[in-house]
Amino acid sequence: MVDASMIECVWSGRARLGEGPVWCPDRGDAGQLLFVDILGSRLHVHDLASRNTHGWKMDEACCWLVPRSDGDGFIAGLRSRLVHLRLDDAGPHLVSEWTTPLGEPAGNRFNDAKVDAQGRLWFGSMDDAAKHSSGSLYCLVERNIACQDTGYRVANGPAITPDGRTLYHSDTPRGVIYAFDLSASGKLTGKREHIRFSATQGYPDGMTCDSEGGLWVAHWDGGRLSRFRVDGVLDETLPLPASRVTSCAFGGVDLDQLFITTAAFERDGEPSAGGLFRVVAGFRGLPPERFAISGDSA
């Protein structure tokens, strides 16, 4: 059982839309937690050794980023394109365009991503106004993009089970988390409703799996983080002092620290909204995966 009294706000910078936490164990002396502020067009780094958090303004909003397997920075999903990004003490540097899905509506932006054990990148898109079902779920392998599912208002929270055989994905405004069967070749089949949020729970946002297969889900407008068992049954709930909880990621040397992002957007009356939180979860996360690069470091 997670001790809610042990939740710590490690950064109180009031991100307008904190999102996309990714654990980078090879950065800094003890690892770093990277996360973005989509609406603030900022990229942040929380250093575990110094406990300091640094941020940089970007020319275009960054919606997510994942490390590359060759160690040469990141693949990042900006608002309208995918790029190769490097990050040093001076901040982020755009190296080159990578590749971008064709046919995305002009009012869409990218939203949330996760890499599986084979190095494939799963990411979604959404209507920026969250009104139209124009979003999709994509899979990126090297520079090849395949649309895997479509019809989302806000495609959110890819998460993959420890055995790599199930992928979870949500449509936030619909309040539904879907489960797909994921083949070794990267094909999705068997789409089904896995969890449906009630009106009192808020809406499912970012997600991650722990090493036991539990699914941790951020509750947008629900002020909590919940763990669901493999069968979809609610296991436990972790209340947070911010109503718009957006995503989560395991980090730390033993992957036993759970970092949680939140949003201050339209929450001026919540002093802790937009902060980055940390708690020892009582579970361990999965080792972070890297986007597979084979011989092309451009």
Which residues touch 269 (CB under 8 Å, ≥6 apart)?
A: none
Tell which residue, 97, 85, 107, 82, has the closest CA to residue 24.
85
Q: Which two tokens stand for residue 137?
A: 């779920």
155 CB burial (10 A radius; 0-12, 13-18, 19+) = buried
Q: Which two tokens stand for residue 170?
A: 């949500």
Q: Which two tokens stand for residue 264?
A: 């201050």
Q: Please identify which of the residues 116, 171, 205, 210 carries the catalytic annotation.
A: 205
Measured between its terminal Cα atoms, the distance across the chain in Å is 45
* Strands 135-141 vs 42-47: parallel, antiparallel or unpaired: unpaired
| Residue 216 to residue 238: CA distance in whole angstroms | 10
Q: How far lies 239's CA from each of 52, 145, 166, 201, in Å? A: 25, 37, 27, 11
Residue 89 falls in the annotated catalytic set: no
Q: What is the DSSP letter of 291?
A: B
| Residue 107 to residue 115: CA distance in whole angstroms | 26
* 35 C-beta neighbours (distance < 10 Å), count: 28
Query: Which residues are marked as active site?
Result: 205
